[in-house]
Amino acid sequence: MITMTRIDYRLLHGQVAFAWTNNLSANAILIANDEVANDVFRKKTFQLAKPDNAKLIFKTIEDSAKAIASGVTDKYRVFIVVETIADAYRLAMQVPEIKVVDLGLANDKDGAINIAKSVYVTKKEIKQLTELEDKGVQVLVKQAPGDSDIEFSSLIK
């Protein structure tokens, strides 16, 4: 079962590893990112931040979608973490089980506007997130588990 998908350019760090994982009662964290899946050093670094009560899995976006579709993740409460809005979009468009995407932290880049604390989006990213909402995926902007749920679409009007 997928508990949530979070966009956070830092991927796995204290807040994600402990606050979010505990809040979601997740027992598996899937880092879905093409670069990290093939980077031994980054994977070893993230292993250091892994909570003891959760399995940590690294897969490309494509392999993540295949694993979820195969049912191999069904026995876990999976918290998916992606690095970018593009990663979340690619994954959610392939995986109908993704019902909630949390736009936690998206870094500043050329052409981006700031819509919330530590959340910057480009026109292309706004289009992608709007498409996800139109598909029925709830897109929230929420940094920490105790924060209020803010619908993405309410911040871009």
Summarize pLDDT for 93-143 with one digit per residue, the tens: 999 999 999 999 999 999 999 999 999 999 999 999 999 999 999 999 999
**Phi, psi (degrees; rounded to nearest 5) at 102:** -100, 120
Summarize pLDDT for 27-66 with one digit per residue, the tens: 999 999 999 999 999 999 999 999 999 999 999 999 999 9
Task: Write out the DSSP string of the chain.
Answer: -EEEEEEETT-SSHIIIIIIHHHTT-SEEEEE-HHHHT-HHHHHHHHHH--TTSEEEEE-HHHHHHHHHHTTTTTS-EEEEESSHHHHHHHHHH-TT--EEEEEEB---TT-EEEETTEEE-HHHHHHHHHHHHTT-EEEE-SSTTSPPEEHHHH--
